[in-house]
Chains A and B, each alone.
Chain A
C-alpha cells in the first residue's frame, strides 16, 4: 500500500473503519436484495446474506491487518495505557517531570548562554583570522594596552603578516538633535578597518578608499543600536546627512546588531592622521585590529610584529624601549573575561544534571520494583517480554517527552531573562536565543538521561548506597561553591571604597571642542559649579577628571619625580593615577583629609602649583617622612611642573573594590584643565531628582554643551560588583536546587530501601530488636552514607576549588568554615530525608509483615 494510504489509515482511523463497514455493508445489502428477488422475505434474506459472507469480524480483522497499521495501533494503545498508568500515579509522574524540568531547563539555559556567548559564530567572515593588536610594557606589568599612531603606522609599513591592519580612535561627536545637543560615542577608523572586520553592512556600505582623504571624509556608518534607538530604525537614513560636530555628514551605512567593534561603538567615521599626531609616539590610545594574511598563523604574525617592535625600541629608545606587541584573537578579546565565570556555572549545572539523573534513576527504580507484581501477572496471562519492555519504554517516553517539551518552553523564557540580566555585563547577551544548537543539546541530554539504568538491579543494595553517596557528594560541591561566593561577595561589599557613594550624581562632559582655551574651560566649569550649588537639595559640588569606578583610562596617569631624588632616565619615573579636581571634590565624595589642607579657590594658574597625594602615595614614596611641603616634578597633561604637596587624603579604590587602592595624585583643576571631566553633585535628596535642574543650569551656562553620560556613584559601585553578585545568585539557586534534589532523592532511596527491607526488619523485631533500634539502624546507615558522600564531595571541592580561585575575593577556595557549614548542611538534609522512612521501618507490624509472605 502506498505510504500516504498507510498514514491516512492511521491518522484517519475512523475514516478507514467507515470505508471497511461501507464496503462490506454494500456487499451484504446487494446480496440480500438479490435473495429477496428470488422470493425470500427481507429478514431471512439479510440473515442468509450474512451467513454466506462468513465471519464478518474475522474478515474485518484480516483487512485491518492488511492496512499495515498493527505496530502503530499497538503504539497508540501503549500510549493510552501509559497515560492511564501515569494518571493512576500522579505523584510519581509529577515528581519525575518536575525533576527533569528543573535539571534540563537549568542545563539547557546554561548551555544556551555558553554557546551563544563563547561559541556561536561572530558576525565577521573568517572570524578566527581577525585579531586585536595591543602594545605591551612587560617591565611595567602591562600586557594589553592601546597603541600609538606612529607605532601602528610603522607596524603597518613593515609587516606582511596581515591582509588588513587598522586602528580606531575613541571619539565623541555632538549631534544637534531637535530636542537639544546630544553626544554619541564614535570611533574614527583608519583605512582597512572594515576590510579587516569583514562584516556585511545591514544597509548601505562602508567607506571607500577615496573617503579616507581629507576633504572627502564627511561620511559615517551607524551601529545598529544607535540607528534603532536614536533614529527609529529609519532605513531611509542612508543617503541623508546628519549634523555632527556642526558639520554635515553623509550616512553611508548601518551595521547589523552583532557588530560592535570596538566595543561601545555608536558610529564609525573615517580617520585621517594629523601631521602632529605622527610625532606623538607616546600618545597610545588607539585600538588596533588586523586580519591575518592568507597562510599566516597567529604565532607567525605575533613574531613578525614583535621583531618590528624590537626594531622600533632601538630606533625610539625614549618611548618604545619597553614596548612590545601582543595579539589576541577577537573572540578571546570579546568574551575572554567572562569565560571563567561561564565555565564555572556550566560545570555547576553539569553537577545539577548528574543529580537530576541520580534522582530519576531512583524514581524509576522504585517504579520498576512496584511494577514487578503487575508484570508477573501480565506475563502469566501471556504478554510477551518484548511487549512488556515496550510498555515500560512508552511510559518513560511519555514522561521524558513531557519533560523535554516543558523544559524547552521554560528555556525560551529563561534565555529572555538572561538577555535582560546580562545587558552590559555579558558580552553578546543580546544575541542569546533558543536556536537549533540549544534544541539539539536538550534532546541529547534527554536521550542520555533516558538511557540510565532503570531496571531493578540484582545488586540492589549496593546501587542504592552508591546513589545516596553520589547525591550527597554532588550537592556538597555545589553548596560549597555557593558558600564560597557568599563569603566572597560579602567580603567585597564590606570593602570601604574610600568615599561615601550615597546620593552622589555624576555627569560627564567633553569640553575640549567647545572651549578650546584653558581659561574658557575653567571659567565655564566654575560658573557651572556655582550655579549647580544653588539648586535646592544640592549639598556639595565638585569636578574631577577621574571618577572612581567609571573605568579609568590611560590618560589619567601622571609621571613624576620627587625633587631632590633625581632618577636616572625619564623611563624610570614612576607613573601614578592622577586626577585634576576642584576644591569641592573631596567634600562632595567625603574623601577624608589626613594631613595638610584641601585645594582652595586660589589654587589657580596665577598661584604656585600644588598637589595633594593619597595615603598610599605617601606610604609608597615617602615612607615615614612627612610628605607635606615636599616638591614633585609632575608631568600631567602638560610639560613637567614643580608642585608642592599641600595635603594627604584617604585612599580610594579607583579600579574596583577587589583591587587594592593605588597611589594617586591630585592637582587643582584650574592648574591642569583637562578636557573630559565629571561633575559630581552630593544631594540631600535622591540624586535623580536634581538631574533635570542640573541640565537646566548647564543649558543656561552653555546651551550647546552636551552631557555625555550620567550615573550615580551607588550605581557605579553596584555595577563593579555585579559580575560576582550574578554568579552568586545563579550558584545560590543551583545550590538550593541541589539541596532539594538531594533531599528528595535520599528520601526516595531510603523509603524504597526500607520498603524492600520490611522482611528483614520484621525478623529483627521478632528476634527482639526494639523499634528505636531499627530507627537508629536505618538512620545510622543513611548518615554513614551521607558521611562517605561528604568525604568524596569534599575531595572534589578541594580539587576543583583551585580553578575558581581567580573568581573569589579574600576567600580561600578551601575555606574551612564554608566546607564545615556545607558538610553540616548536607548531613542535616540527609538525616531529615532518612528520618521518615526510618520511623516507618521502626513501626512495622512484624507479625503482619511476616504473614504476608
Chain B
C-alpha cells in the first residue's frame, strides 16, 4: 500500500486542517499538503476538487471568488461548523493512530 492510498481516506481531515490556518484555493491546498508532509503526501487532484465541493455542500467550507495573479480563483475557507468538524476528525485520527501504534509496538 502506497502512502497515496492511505491518504485518500483522510483527505477530508487534511483539507480541513490545512484551511484552519488560512483560506486557500485548490492548487494552494494541494501544494501546502505536499510541502507540510515533506513531499510524502501527493494529493490526487481527481479527489481533491470533489472533496472540496462535497465539504462545501455539507457546510464545512465556504468559498469566495477572488483574483489571484490576474485569474479568477475560488478561495475556500473553514466555517465555524467546519472548524468543529476538523477538531472532531483530528481527535478521531489521533486516537486511531495511537491505537495502531500500540498494536505495532512490541509488547
Binding site for B on A (CB under 8 A): 1-2, 19, 22-27, 29-31, 34, 52-55, 58-59, 62-63, 66-68
Does B72 lie within 8 Å of A62, measured CB to CB? no
Complex partner residue of A31 from B27, B46, B65, B72, CB under 8 angstroms: B27
**Interface size bracket, B side:** 20 to 34
Residues of the A chain whose Cβ atoms lie less than 8 Å from the Cβ of B28: 30
Q: How far is the CA of A773 from the CA of B18 in the complex (A)?
A: 88
Residues of the B chain whose Cβ atoms lie less than 8 Å from the Cβ of A34: 31
Known pairs A30-B28, A55-B46. 4 more at Cβ < 8 A? A22-B73, A54-B44, A63-B50, A66-B50
Q: How far is the CA of A845 from the CA of B50 in the complex (A)?
A: 62
Residues of the A chain whose Cβ atoms lie less than 8 Å from the Cβ of B73: 22-23, 26
Complex partner residue of A1 from B44, B49, B56, B72, CB under 8 angstroms: B56
Residues of the B chain whose Cβ atoms lie less than 8 Å from the Cβ of A66: 50, 53-54, 57
Does A26 lie within 8 Å of B50, measured CB to CB? no
Q: How far is the CA of A19 from the CA of B25 in the complex (A)?
A: 13
In the assembled complex, B32 has its CB within 8 A of some CB on chain A = no
B54 to chain A, nearest CB (A): 6
Tell whether A63 pairs with B74 under 8 Å between CB atoms, given A26-B27, A27-B45, A52-B45: no
Q: Which of chain B's residues has its CB closest to A22's CB? A: B72
Does B56 lie within 8 Å of A59, measured CB to CB? no
Residues of the B chain whose Cβ atoms lie less than 8 Å from the Cβ of A58: 46
Could you show 30 A-B contacts with beta carbons less than 8 Å apart?
A1-B56, A1-B57, A2-B59, A19-B65, A19-B74, A22-B71, A23-B25, A23-B74, A25-B71, A26-B27, A26-B71, A26-B72, A27-B45, A27-B49, A30-B27, A30-B28, A31-B27, A52-B45, A53-B46, A54-B44, A54-B46, A59-B49, A59-B50, A63-B49, A63-B50, A63-B53, A66-B53, A66-B54, A66-B57, A67-B53
Q: How far is the CA of A27 from the CA of B73 in the complex (A)?
A: 9
Tell whether A26 pairs with B45 under 8 Å between CB atoms, given A63-B50, A66-B54, A66-B57: no
Q: How far is the CA of A68 from the CA of B57 in the complex (A)?
A: 10
In the assembled complex, B23 has its CB within 8 A of some CB on chain A = no
Q: How far is the CA of A24 from the CA of B53 in the complex (A)?
A: 12
Residues of the A chain whose Cβ atoms lie less than 8 Å from the Cβ of B59: 2
Interface of chain B residues 47 through 96 with chain A (CB within 8 A):
49-50, 53-54, 56-57, 59, 65, 68-69, 71-74
| B-side interface mostly | helix
| A-side interface mostly | helix
A30 to chain B, nearest CB (A): 4
Q: How far is the CA of A25 from the CA of B71 in the complex (A)?
A: 9
Most chain B CB within 10 A, of A1, A23, A24, A62, is at A23
A101 to chain B, nearest CB (A): 44
A266 to chain B, nearest CB (A): 68
A47 to chain B, nearest CB (A): 15
Q: How far is the CA of A24 from the CA of B59 in the complex (A)?
A: 21
Query: 4 nearest interchain CB pairs?
Result: A1-B57, A54-B46, A30-B27, A27-B27
A23 to chain B, nearest CB (A): 5
Q: How far is the CA of A31 from the CA of B48 in the complex (A)?
A: 14
Does B26 lie within 8 Å of A26, measured CB to CB? yes
Residues of the A chain whose Cβ atoms lie less than 8 Å from the Cβ of B31: 34
Does B74 lie within 8 Å of A59, measured CB to CB? no
- Bitwise interface map of B from 6 to 37 toward A, beta carbon under 8 Å scored 1, else 0: 00000000000000000001111011000000
Tell whether A59 pairs with B71 under 8 Å between CB atoms, given A30-B27, A66-B57: no
Q: Which of chain A's residues has its CB closest to B53's CB? A: A66
B8 to chain A, nearest CB (A): 13
Does B57 lie within 8 Å of A59, measured CB to CB? no
B53 to chain A, nearest CB (A): 5
A143 to chain B, nearest CB (A): 75
Q: How far is the CA of A53 from the CA of B27 in the complex (A)?
A: 11
Does B46 lie within 8 Å of A23, measured CB to CB? no
Residues of the A chain whose Cβ atoms lie less than 8 Å from the Cβ of B53: 63, 66-67
